[in-house]
A and B are shown apart, each in its own frame.
Chain A
Amino acid sequence: MYAIREALSGMQRAPFLTLLSSAMVALALFVVGLFSVVTYNLHQALTRIEERVEIVAYLRDGTPLEDAFALEDRLMGLEEVRATRFISKEDALAAARADLPEFHEIFSGLEVNPLPASIEVEIHPEFRNSESVARVAGVLSVYPEVEDVAYGQEWVDRLFLLRRIGAIATAVLGGAFAVVAALIIGTAIRIAIFARREEIHIMRLVGATNGFIRRPFLIEGLLTGFLGGAMAVALTWGAFQGVHRMVFALDWIPTEWVLLGLGSGGLFGLVASGLAVRRHLREV
Chain B
Amino acid sequence: MIKLTNVTREYPRRGKALDDVSFHVRKGEFAFLTGHSGSGKSTTMRLIHMAERPTSGEVRVSGFSSQLTSQREIWKLRRRVGYIFQDFQLLPGRTAQENVAFALEVTGTPRNQILPRAGRLLSQVGLAAKTGAIVEELSGGEQQRVATARALVNEPLVLLADEPTGNLDERASRGMMDLFRDLNARGMAILMATHDLELVRAFPETRVLELVEGKLVYDSAGAEGAT
Residue ranges of A at the interface with B (Cβ–Cβ < 8 Å): 2, 13-14, 198-199, 201-210, 212, 281-282, 284
Contact = CB atoms under 8 A, between A and B. Distances in A.
Given A199-B91, A205-B83, A205-B85, A284 B107 contact: no
B72 A210 contact: yes
A202 B51 contact: no
A207 B106 contact: yes
A284 B46 CA distance: 10
A221 B83 CA distance: 31
Contacts of A209: 75, 106
Contact of A204 (B74, B92, B150): B74
Contacts of A202: 89-91
Contact of A207 (B51, B91, B93, B103): B103
Nearest to B94: A13
Nearest to A2: B105
B102 interface: yes
14 contacts: A13-B94, A14-B93, A198-B92, A199-B91, A203-B91, A204-B74, A205-B49, A205-B51, A205-B78, A205-B83, A206-B83, A207-B107, A208-B106, A281-B71
B71 A282 contact: yes
Contact of B93 (A13, A206, A210, A281): A13
Interface string B23-36: 00000000000000
Given A202-B91, A206-B106, 16 more contacts: A2-B105, A13-B93, A13-B94, A198-B92, A199-B91, A202-B90, A203-B106, A205-B51, A205-B78, A205-B89, A206-B78, A206-B103, A207-B79, A207-B106, A208-B106, A209-B75
A206 B147 CA distance: 10
Nearest to A213: B106
Q: Identify whether the interface residues of A are mostly helix, strand, loop, or mixed.
A: helix
A208 B92 contact: no
Contacts of B78: 204-207
B86 to A, nearest CB: 12
Interface string B5-33: 00000000000000000000000000000
Contacts of A204: 74-75, 78
Nearest to B98: A9
B51 A206 contact: no
Contacts of B154: 207
A198 B136 CA distance: 14
A207 B92 CA distance: 17
Nearest to A198: B92
Contact of A203 (B49, B79, B102, B107): B102
A208 B89 CA distance: 14
A207 B89 CA distance: 13
A199 B92 contact: yes
A208 B78 CA distance: 8
Interface in B120-135: none
The 8 closest A-B pairs by CB, nearest first: A207-B78, A207-B79, A208-B106, A13-B93, A206-B103, A207-B75, A202-B89, A209-B75
Contacts of B77: 207
A209 B79 CA distance: 10
Contacts of A203: 91, 102, 106
Nearest to B77: A207
